[in-house]
């Protein structure tokens, strides 16, 4: 691509022109795909997802693109490499959660029953390292508001009245939000015990 063409394209991206995005994809989709495939393996089922995430991230950060710091191609490939790294970090977290759920075994259901008030006493598994991993993973999958409410109320011990004051709402509203947050947390936590194990060679995970 000629320098003048790249400058025009960069200006169009910064201005949010739809035709500039179409041109960017047509020009760089193939090299970005090839770069991601080299890092992840050409048979990886996740290559398409990472390529899509790359262009979405580029769309969000287009206004900050500075041609003095490198070409559009280098900029896109840098975004692609970051998203490949993010993909593998997510995979490590997923493997850690899967392993923790498998080690917890039948105790996972006991914790779920306790969370649903169907188990009278807190099970010993509640303080296990595996449960801690699953609790953190479940919190990470919740909305920002639910994360904030649950950690503030149950980890930091903030009173409902104080939360109501901080968020400028009534205590009744906070209790209602907490109830929804607990329900969302239980659903995610219970789901960890239902996720099937995937062996390293399973094509569902994509070829490395």
Segment 118-151, tens digit of pLDDT = 666 666 767 688 888 888 888 878 888 898 898 8
In the three-class reduction of DSSP (H, G, I as helix; E, B as strand; rest coil), residue 190 is classed as helix
Q: For residue 4, is pLDDT > 80?
A: no
User: Are residues 136 and 151 in contact, defined by beta-carbon separation less than 8 angstroms?
Assistant: no
CATH 1.20.140.10 fits 3-62+71-96, yes or no: no
The CATH class of 105-192 is: mainly alpha
pTM, 2 dp: 0.54
User: Are residues 181 and 138 in contact, defined by beta-carbon separation less than 8 angstroms?
Assistant: no
Structure tokens at 7: 């400058």
DSSP string covering 47-115, please?
A: HHHHHHHHHHHHHHHGGG--GGG--HHHHHHHHHHHHHHHHHHHHHHHHHHHHHHHHHTHHHHHHHHHH
Percent of the chain surpassing pLDDT 90:
19
In the three-class reduction of DSSP (H, G, I as helix; E, B as strand; rest coil), residue 128 is classed as coil
CA dist 52 → 7, 34, 105, 184, 201 (Å): 23, 13, 36, 28, 25
Helical packing angle, 129-140 and 106-115, nearest 10°: 60
pLDDT for 54 equals 93
Longest dimension (CA), the chain: 71
Tell me where in the chain the CATH 1.10.10.10 domain(s) lie. 105-192
Q: How confident is the model at residue 204 (pLDDT cuts 50, 70, 90)?
A: very low
Structure tokens at 2: 């000629």
Mean pLDDT over 39-66 rounds to 84
Q: Which long-range contacts (CB under 8 A, 24 or more apart) does 142-147 make?
A: 142/181, 142/184, 142/185, 142/188, 143/184, 145/177, 145/181, 146/177, 146/180, 146/181, 146/184, 146/185
Tell me where in the chain the CATH 1.10.1740.10 domain(s) lie. 3-62+71-96
pLDDT for 181 equals 93
Segment 162-171, tens digit of pLDDT = 999 988 899 9
Mean pLDDT over 1-19 rounds to 76
């Amino acid at each position: 691509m000629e320098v003048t063409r790249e400058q025009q394209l960069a200006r169009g991206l910064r201005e949010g022109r739809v035709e500039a995005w179409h041109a960017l994809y047509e020009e760089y989709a193939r090299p970005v795909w090839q770069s991601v495939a080299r890092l992840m393996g050409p048979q990886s089922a996740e290559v398409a997802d990472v390529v899509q995430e790359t262009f979405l991230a580029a769309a969000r950060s287009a206004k900050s693109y500075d041609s003095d710091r490198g070409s559009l191609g280098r900029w896109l490939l840098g975004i692609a490499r970051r998203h490949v790294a993010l993909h593998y970090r997510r995979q490590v977290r997923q493997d850690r959660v899967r392993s923790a759920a498998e080690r917890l075994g039948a105790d996972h259901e006991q914790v779920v029953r306790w969370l649903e008030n169907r188990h009278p006493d807190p099970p010993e598994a509640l303080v296990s390292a595996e449960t801690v991993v699953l609790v953190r993973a479940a919190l990470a999958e919740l909305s920002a508001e639910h994360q904030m409410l649950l950690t503030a109320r149950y980890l930091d011990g903030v009173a409902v009245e104080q939360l109501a004051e901080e968020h400028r709402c009534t205590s009744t509203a906070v209790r209602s939000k907490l109830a929804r947050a607990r329900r969302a947390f239980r659903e995610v936590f219970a789901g960890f015990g239902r996720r099937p194990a995937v062996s390293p060679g399973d094509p569902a995970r994509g070829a490395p």
